[in-house]
Amino acid sequence: MPGERSGDVVGVLTSDAARLPLGCILFRPSTGRPLVSPAAGAPAEVGGGRIVVGDLVVSAAAWWDPHPRLPSPRPALLPEGVRQLRTTLYGEGVPHSAFSLPGMPTGPGGPLAALRGAVRRADLDAALRTASRLIGLGPGLTPAGDDVMAGTVAGLVLLGHPAAGRFAAGVTALAAGRTSELSRALLQHAAAGRVSGEYAAVLHALVGERPLAPAVAALLGSGRTSGRATALGLCTAIDLVDRTGRC
């Protein structure tokens, strides 16, 4: 978006796409191919409740809030729900250290291993140094490393970690010039506690407000790697919040 909101990104998403916090959600699914008409490089305008891209005109019919409203600034999570989330993400009997994502270096010297080490020590500064290795790492419009960091940042903010603001500011500063505009924008939304509908549903389930299994399945199934990477970030945030509370 140009002008005073230069740098903002708005996505036009089909109804079966992940519900991104910066998205305008169409009523039509991707099978109807509603987004094939705009040519690459077509002029775009946003304003007055409309998005115009070439011949495509999208008018807002309703608004949605991507900031989940949890019971308290530092909500208590159901222990069994957290265990179920971790088991579904990592696999039954699989150690966290064995978890990997496509396009991400593995092994004890990799960034995911470094992030786990920082979490074990409840060392937020070390976790932020790890972010410098993760931002922009991995294939796709939103690299897996960015998705891990977005999930971590949003989790720290929404679960009330006392240093969430400092960590979020550090991650968003690192994203400038290191990743795609879409991914950078999503990290900025995460820093403000604005998340995908799938991520929000898991948080609501972890505080007992809805069933967990379908929410986790929807998050892990979103995108090629984004859902799993974002869930890993959420687990990272949960561990950091828990360790901070016990320190």
**Nearest by Cα to 15 from 5, 3, 30:** 30
pLDDT tens figures, 137-196: 987 789 999 999 999 999 999 999 999 999 999 999 999 888 999 999 999 999 999 999
pLDDT of residue 247: 45
pLDDT of residue 2: 59
**What is the average pLDDT score of the chain?**
90
Among 1-10, 17-26, 143-152, the minimum mean pLDDT is found in 1-10
pTM, 2 dp: 0.91
Task: Tell me if 44 sits within 8 A of 52, measured CB to CB.
Answer: yes
pLDDT tens figures, 66-124: 999 999 999 999 999 999 999 999 888 777 777 888 888 887 888 999 999 999 898 99
- Residue % of the chain over a pLDDT of 70: 95
pLDDT of residue 211: 96
Exposure string over 178-197, b if 16+ CB within 10 A, otherwise e: bbbebbbbbbbbbbebbbbb
Residue partners of 83: CB distance under 8 A and separation at least 6: none
pLDDT band at residue 5, thresholds of 50, 70 and 90?
A: low
pLDDT of residue 40: 82
CA distance 87 to 97: 13
